[in-house]
Amino acid sequence: MTTAFFQNLAQTTYNQWVLLTPEILLASLALLLLVLDIALPKALRGAIPAVAIAGQLCALAVTTAWVLAPFHERILDAPVFNGLLRITPHSQFMRVFFAATSLLVSVLALVSLKKHRLPRIEFFHLVLVITAAMMLLAASNNFVMLFVALETVTVGFYILVAYIRANPLSLEAGLKYLIMGALSSALLLFGIVLLYGLAGDPTLKGYTPAGDALGFGRIFHALAHNPDNFTGNLGAALVFSGIAFKIGLVPFQIWIPDVYQGAPTPVTAFLSVGSKAAGFAILITLLQVFAGVLGLDDRPGIIIPLLTVMTIATLVFGNLAALTQHNVKRLIGLSGVSHAGFMMIGLLAFMAGGRDGLGAVYVYLIAYLLASFAIFGVMTHVSGQDDAVQELEHYHGLARRNPFLAGVLAVGLGSLAGIPPLAGFMGKLLVFVSAFQAGLYWLLAIAIASVVVSIYYYFGWLRAAFFQNWEAPDVPGDVLERPKPAPVNPGIAIMLALLALATILLGIWQTPVTRWLQMLGV
């Protein structure tokens, strides 16, 4: 499988800029917003957010049409821009995923930025730049391209996490994310340097002087011929460690609760869905690059056992830590750690021979996107003046005061908990089936136990919204003021209703998604 992936490449490289139409479109829109902010009179600048949303909606439509265009068949798996990029079914899927994520984040920002009186144009600009970089990240075929795209994403998130400059918790979150992000980048870069040295060592078996020593094909070739090389194994382990920070795998998840709490709610949603998906996009690509040390293709390897232990620890920690949380942003962050564990099960099943492991991860990502943005949409409206202080008590009586938001919350939380017939249930079921096919029985047992534990804290949130009434704080001046959900704009109400409806339909009828994935070839 992996050998054919790199050996059956087209001899011609394609360097036409038209191949990067989705990325160029997003980058051009980002620049256009800055130009409009400078050129338009102050009275007309209030229309710029509408331009941003309309532009992203068009970008999503163009990206979807572009991905499904038939001419891509002749360039699939062919080197693009001298081997820096590779257009694959995987990168095509992630393009559409990131475009949808960008649009949903920007819609939530319309509510959040207005409520907290924060600059809007710069926020939309950063979201667009980060999204374009994520698309390039998923198509990377060279470690230079991967590192530059990843750092563009990370630097953008440094700014967005600390976007509420008047809030100490937001500034603290930004500092923590900066420190931990720098550490993860250092680990990744150290691993890349070791792999570069391995691929360029003329004394090793299988050395070829031709080719870029940082290209994925050259790295794959070096590792395949030297699976027991200490430098290669250490380099792969360091690269995986750097990626594990982005995904939130144990023991690299320690930053998540504080950063998710301090960041503005739309940014928390972007981190929870977009950043996590970007991490998995890299991981899926590197699984084939590191086949020689992973144990794929009947080769011995030490990385899969290490990833298995990390996955088990991620499932256990994420669910147990979420049990004690009263701040919903911390709760959703720690539960997101456990969801990273579930998606890792699909990848481990794929590596162990499970036929549908990779497809299960894609379906899980779609279900996770729908449910997460439905929940974050409710959180954006329920949050008070202090965006970091969002407690379970804020949701007391929500069903009585705003039945629509409570209904959307119920659908989203039920999906994340894996309750049938919602999309999250199908995502978990497909992951479990792939794990069973691959013989990962112990991992499957731990995952099922994790689902049972997650139901407790998800339904604790629902109990607060549907079955508990608000009680005034005993302490004068307590931060827990009586929650007053913001009015729901009709357009945003339609978006939330569509997310909830899609979550229900995907749980019942998966044919459109499976056909789309088949069209993409994933």
**DSSP annotation string for 323-340:** TT--BHHHHHHHHHHHHH
Beta strands in 303-377 (DSSP E): none
In this predicted structure, what is the pLDDT of residue 6? 43
| Residue 114, token pair as written in the block | 């207005």
For residue range 425-478, list pLDDT tens digits in order: 999 999 998 888 888 888 889 999 999 999 999 998 989 888 866 555 554 444
| Residue 329, token pair as written in the block | 């942003």
Buried b (16+ CB within 10 A) or exposed e, 363-375: bbbbbbbbbbbbb
Only one residue has tokens 């890299």, namely: 282
For residue range 292-334, list pLDDT tens digits in order: 666 555 554 567 788 888 899 999 999 999 888 888 999 999 9
What angle do the packed helices 276-289 and 143-161 form, to 10 degrees? Answer: 170
The amino acid at residue 34 is L
What secondary structure does DSSP assign to 287-298, as a single string?
A: HHHTHHHHT-TT
Residues of the chain with pLDDT under 70: 1-15, 70-78, 206-207, 210-211, 291-302, 354-355, 468-483, 519-522
In this predicted structure, what is the pLDDT of residue 414? 92
Rounded Cα–Cα distance for residues 94 and 88 (Å) = 10
79-80 and 85-86 beta bridge pairing: antiparallel
Q: Report domain extents, the chain.
A: 318-470+485-522
Rg (CA), the chain: 23
Rounded Cα–Cα distance for residues 360 and 364 (Å) = 6
270 phi/psi in degrees, rounded to 5: -65, -45
In this predicted structure, what is the pLDDT of residue 302? 67
Sign of the C-alpha dihedral computed for residues 136, 139, 145 and 151 taken in this order: positive
Where do the H-state alpha helices sit in 68-88? none
Peptide bond just before 89 cis, omega within 30 deg = no
Angle value at C-alpha 442, between 440 and 444, nearest 5 degrees: 65
Against a cut of 0.85, is the pTM above it? yes
Angle value at C-alpha 78, between 77 and 79, nearest 5 degrees: 120
